[in-house]
Amino acid sequence: MEVNKPLEIRLKAKAAELGFAACGVARADAAPRTAERLRQWLAEGAHGDMLWMEARAHHRESPAGLWPEVQSVIALGMSYAPREDPLRLADETDRARISVYAQGVDYHDVVKKALKALARWLVAEAGGDLKVFVDTAPVMEKPLAEAAGLGWQGKHTNLVSRTDGSWLFLGAIYTTLSLAPDTAGRDSCGSCDACQRACPTHAFPAPYRLDARRCISYLTIEHAGPIPLEFRAALGNRIYGCDDCLAACPWNKFAETARANRAFLPRAELAAPRLADLLGLDDAGFRQVFSGSPIKRIGRDRMMRNCLIAAGNSGDAGLVAAVAPLLNDANEVVREAAEWAMAQLNPSPRP
């Protein structure tokens, strides 16, 4: 009978029922090198403007640093494996490229809802205290997921799974229960460096090390000021995030789109939006288009900055009419990006 099976087996079955493609258990102290690596990364300034990484570093260094009572970590992954090539819009310069993970509904809401349901089940089955986390909390999900056997941190620093490639949203449950741990994931990157070679801005100074200040995902999402000139051409038509290093991973060939949660299927208006349409959005329009999307978090001004860089890279003089009104935008960063885009498009002087 089901009730006679070990708790860990029943836990994984329940996780699968709730939409998780992966579930594993690690001891709370199973990733001891996390603190050392985090300190080095912060000391190098590689976190850029993400001051929240530094402010709560002591909580990130270990699960016990955040919650001393924790005994076990349940790591979970929800697949968002794309059905289409994430790089298919690279040459369609009139279109904007949005990272695969942000084309559907906000994963925070979907993953957290499932985590809470699993947490309620676990308390009912075995008791104990627990806490649930997606990536808005000071939790180092990737090394913990590796320790729990979900995969390994690849040379692009993201988790790689033998069954789901690089396409997993991660969540974690901290619990006071002492659960039987799974075997940790084993690095299977070998000599492959496809992810590093794929990076348009050379954001990997070495394997397994990321300089966020050079990363397109960081620049388009976390960075608030003007995009540094040296990276603008490399952004191409990317306006939110970048999938290049993830898409390059050979392990993706084993990722089954059937395992992906349907909530993450692309919304039609976000799969291949026209730059001209996005450039015309005011704040209310931005909120309407990106309602229920993680993109909403960056706000209209940052999105306009990104779209203007993409417009400048397009070489399409037909976008001048959409760029021109933004030369007088209320936001200084948007105005600067509009001036740059106009200079790149080099419109003919008006008589």
**Cα–Cα dist 35/59, whole Å:** 10
Entry field: residues in the chain: 351
**Cα–Cα dist 213/201, whole Å:** 10
For 26, the token pair is 């690690």
Q: Active-site positions?
A: 135
Question: Residue 267, exposed/middle/buried by CB under 10 A (0-12, 13-18, 19+)?
Answer: middle
Question: Residue 170, exposed/middle/buried by CB under 10 A (0-12, 13-18, 19+)?
Answer: buried
**Cα–Cα dist 349/351, whole Å:** 6
**Cα–Cα dist 160/6, whole Å:** 28
> Contact 251/166 with Cβ under 8 angstroms?
yes
**Cα–Cα dist 311/314, whole Å:** 5
Running DSSP on this structure, what letter comes out for residue 46?
Answer: T
Strand ranges inside the chain, DSSP E:
22-27, 72-79, 97-98, 130-133, 152-153, 159-160, 168-175, 238-240
3-state secondary structure of 77: strand
